[in-house]
Structure 1
Amino acid sequence: MRILLSLILVISCWKLGDIKNWRTYYPTILYVIINNLLYSFFVSEKKYFLWKLEPDFLLNPTFSFLVQNFIIFPCLIILFLSYLPKYQHKKITYIILAASILAGIEFIMYLTGRITYHHGWNFWWSIGFNILWVLMMKLHFYKPIPAWVVSFIITAFFIIYFHVPLPE
């Protein structure tokens, strides 16, 4: 599933994304990767996953994580930011569309057993998280420092709400 998704996203990014200006999107790509690495850091030591990527075809969990961080996320970010509308009313529709696409991909992964939910997390939380993810990408693209502050607050909320044990 992730290999197919990766191929589709790489081809889409190459053909449809603003790949020639990848440096413009690079800080936001790093922001998303760092946040995902932090999630992994917080949950992997105690094995307290809220969601977990399950093995997929030739990919073990570690390689799935790497593919997600270094192929899937960069392609999604370039595609999303390449087409971000200029007008506010169109941005709202675009954000809803982008979050819906992410939710659709995740729903297929859930149905095929490629992602599992734990400790109170479920698909509905993922829908909200996908909306936040898209909003935070947009915020980081325009205002990186406020995005980091908001990310810290959101992370603290999830840690407290889901009782995520902190690493020692």
Structure 2
Amino acid sequence: MHFALGVITLICAWRWGDWRNWKQYHHTMMYFALGNLLYNFLSANHFLWKLNPDFMPNHSMTEMVYTFVTFPATALLFLTNYPDGRKKKRLHYLQWIGIYVIVEWFFRDTGRILYQHGWSLMWSAIFDITMFPMLRLHYKRPLLAYAISAVLCVFWVMLFDVPVDVPIEKRGG
């Protein structure tokens, strides 16, 4: 299902994304990928959620599909179809948050995603509520988005007590 989601997202991005101007969105597409890589790096020994692979051989390969296909394609779709007008913008955010929550709910109920260490679908929804505005902020003001992202990263690490161990090499002497 994870691989299928990647393919579906890629098809949707090909159909409805602004590929002619993809370079305009590239930095935010990579920002999204970087965020997922950072999660996997920081929580490698303390995953808050873990993907149960289906077509892919393991969790790491499944995460690679999300990092390099699903999330960049999502960013392209989200940004290239960003509307004008306050009400339309709110609906756009709700649509994307809803899509992400419904897909994750389905994956949770079918055993494709497993929550650990206090994480839940509710926390994912809260994360999505911050994630989509952060994508738009990164597109408009990337340095501010990176600064806020750093604060949010520290918040999530502290809230879920993610052990961020920095091994110190012993040196002979």
Question: How many residues matched?
Answer: 166
TM-score for both structures, normalised by structure 1 = 0.94
Aligned counterpart, 2:43: 43
State the percentage of identical aligned residues. 36
Structure 1 segments (4+ residues) deviating >4 Å: none
* Aligned position for 1:24: 24
Give the letter aligned to residue 137 of structure 2.
Answer: L
Structure 1 counterpart of 2:106: 108
Residue identity in the other structure for 1:28: T
Question: Within 2, Cα distance between the matches of 1:95 and 1:111?
Answer: 24
Deviations 1:113-156 (A, max 9, x none): 11111111100000111111111101101110110111111111
Q: What is the Cα-based RMSD across aligned positions, in Å?
A: 1.1
List runs of 5+ in structure 2 lacking aligned partners. Answer: 167-173
Equivalent residue in structure 1 for 2:54, among 36, 53, 56: 56
Partners of 2:31 and 2:3 lie apart in 1 by: 23
Residue of 138, 162, 167 corresponding to 2:165? 167
Measure how far apart 1:59 and its partner are.
3.7
> What is the DSSP-based 3-state SS (H/G/I as helix, E as strand, rest coil) of the residue aligned with 2:46?
coil
Question: For the Cα contact (< 8 Å) 2:10–2:73, is it kept in 1?
Answer: yes
Structure 1 spans left out of the alignment, 5+ residues: none
Q: Please show how residues 149-168 of structure 1 align to structure 2 within 5 Å.
A: 149-168=147-166
